[in-house]
Every structure is written in structure tokens, then in C-alpha cells.
Amino acid sequence: MNEQQIKKIIRNVPDFPKKGIQFKDLTTAFLKAECNQWFEEKLTEHYKELGITKICGIESRGFIIAPLVANKLGVGFVPVRKKGKLPADTIEESYSKEYGIDTIEIHKDAITENDVVMIHDDLLATGGTMLAAIHLMKKAGVKKIYTSFLVELDGLKGRDILQNEAEVFSLIHY
């Protein structure tokens, strides 16, 4: 499996979630064990020597590959959830989206200032959700943060708002 083969497997869905958007649907890649193994191997290889202590996956598609990489690296997995989904005390961060305000949370006891964190999501578009996740980690006192994506939509320039905050690494570029 390689990047070009996976690009052929990722489905394009026109006009989703709204007219004019060309949605990259990674669920077609997640159906294939070979794709998941490629994602897992490439991310593990990139992060294995960086001292990662926790991997955070952003709801919901960040939950698919992040735990696999956490397991390979022998570190904990922390879900970054939408507001109201976690049962214990949380730290939260709100951010603006094109259609309103959204809030993400982690449990207060999930991250410490001594953690080295990799935050994972499936796709980097404009970067707003990941930027909020980075700010959430900083609220928890984290000093070293990495970000990872399976796919990056280069033309939307999400990397530009993230790269001053954390390292940005993406496997596939469109």
C-alpha cells in the first residue's frame, strides 16, 4: 500500500456537507485493513523517537487511528470530545466555525504538564478544530505538542495557522 493507492480509495463526495465542498471521505480507506496498517505504520515510524507520552484523538474520526498508534508506541490514548460527552471534570476550549461556536473537552486528569502530546485527526482543512485542541493542551500545561493528520487539503492552508503552535505532519496531500 502507498499514498497513490490510498488516494484512489478515498471517496470524493461533492457538495457535502454543503454546496461547493468536495468532501474527502476516508471511511472507504478505513474499510481496508491494508490502509489502516499503512496509516498506523507511517505515523508510528514518524513519532517513535519523539518522546510522545499521550496521543489525543479528536472526535470522531480521530478516534479510529490514534488508539492504534498509541498502542504501537506504548502510550495512553486521550479522547478529545465535544462538550458534554465526558463524565468527569473537564478542561474545555471553544472556537468559531463557519456556522457557529463549538467546544471540545478533555478530562482534567488526562494530561499533565510533563506529557509530550501528539494530537491526531483524520483531515486538515482550515485547521480551526486542531488549533482549539492545541490551545486545550496548553491550558493543561503541555509544553511539547505535535499534530498529525492522515490527509491535508493544502489549498485551504490550515497548516499556516498551526505551524507556529506545533509541528504539523500529514501523510497524504491534496
Q: Is 41 a catalytic residue?
A: no
Q: Is 59 a catalytic residue?
A: no
Q: How many residues does the chain have?
A: 174
Alpha carbons 117 and 73: distance in angstroms, whole number: 12
Q: How far apart are CA 27 and CA 17, in angstroms?
A: 15
Active-site residue, from 40, 41, 59, 61: 61
Taking every pair of Cα atoms in the chain, the longest distance, rounded to a whole number of angstroms, is 44
C-alpha 95, offset from chain centre: 16
Angle at 83 between CA 81 and CA 88, to 5 degrees: 80
- Gap between the Cα atoms of 146 and 118, Å rounded: 5
Catalytic residue annotation: 61, 98
